[in-house]
Amino acid sequence: MRCCGAGWLSRRSRPATGAECYGQKDRQSHMSAGSNRRLFKRAAIVTGSSSGVGRSIALALAEEGADVALLGRRMKFLRTVARECGEFGAKAVCYRVDLLRDTELRGLKRQVMRDFGGVDILVHSAGVIALSSFAAASLRDFDWQYGCNVRAPFALTQLFLSSLIQRRGQVVFINSTAGLAAGSGVSQYAATKHALKAVADSLREEVNASGVRVLSVHLGRTATPMQARVHELEGKNYHPSYLIQPEQVAEAVVGALVAGPEAEITDIRIRPLLKPRMPLQKK
């Protein structure tokens, strides 16, 4: 059983030749307040930004003054997010690109560097999951999850690493608690999330000396369209109010990004307060 995160991009997606820019007309009205915004004039890339956690992070970055490159597979939703970012005076550019195609990634790099001049923040929020018992799991699904959850963020980071180093930037990997401890039915997904943590940890050891910070955010079940589909595949009732809210994740990420340069927050773990089968206590 497969489930796509907000930022998974189909192999049939169009190349990133139709980038669309929003927010420039409103920019001047926010310039005077720029000094009070903690990420003013920073350039951020957010994958999976059409909905869920990626959308909330993109909006939170824009609210703090950052300009955002929005990556996702559904331009209709990306445009909506871009307009919302524009309300904060942020420049927001939408890119539809297949993260599994190296040629399109190289084209994306050229466009982002042209549109933004460089990258200060790179947020990997796109992800996919396939649920299956170990015995029945498909190797094709394994390759698909590896490509989306590990290879794509590795390749994208590699492309923009020189700019991140030049700007003493930051990289955020939105991971899962399955990347810390694997449960049943998610052997392949958990393996890719463990691998993603290894990518982040190794990258951190290499780039810290250059002033680049690397953060892994391990999320439990979060109220997103992806989680709604997971519940459906599991045959469970979906109660988003009992889950982590995307805005809470965005708040934690921004808090780490704006920490003073003397410190680095390397890992954040967030889980729902209420666990499965735990009743809500009435006051």
What amino acid is encoded at 125 in this protein?
S
Residue 167, phi then psi, degrees to nearest 5: -100, 5
- Using the 8-state DSSP alphabet, how is residue 209 labeled? G
Parse the chain into domains and list their residue ranges: 2-270
Q: What is the pLDDT at residue 25?
A: 55
Q: Would you tell me how many other CB atoms lie within 10 Å of the CB of residue 194?
A: 17
Residue with tokens 């943590």: 197
CATH of 2-270, picked from 3.40.50.720, 3.55.50.30, 3.30.70.20, 1.10.10.10, is 3.40.50.720
Residue 113, phi then psi, degrees to nearest 5: -65, -35
- pLDDT < 70 positions in the chain: 1-18, 23-35, 276-283
Nearest to 197 by CA among 209, 181, 185, 221: 181
The two structure tokens encoding residue 110: 């050229």
CA dist 114 and 163 (Å) reads 13
Q: Render pLDDT for 150-184 as a digit per residue (tens, 0 to 9).
A: 999 999 999 999 999 999 999 999 999 999 999 99
Helices marked H in 44-183 — which ranges?
52-63, 75-86, 102-116, 139-146, 152-166
> How are beta strands 67-71 and 43-46 bridged, if at all?
parallel
pTM above 0.75, yes or no: yes
Nearest to 8 by CA among 73, 94, 68: 73
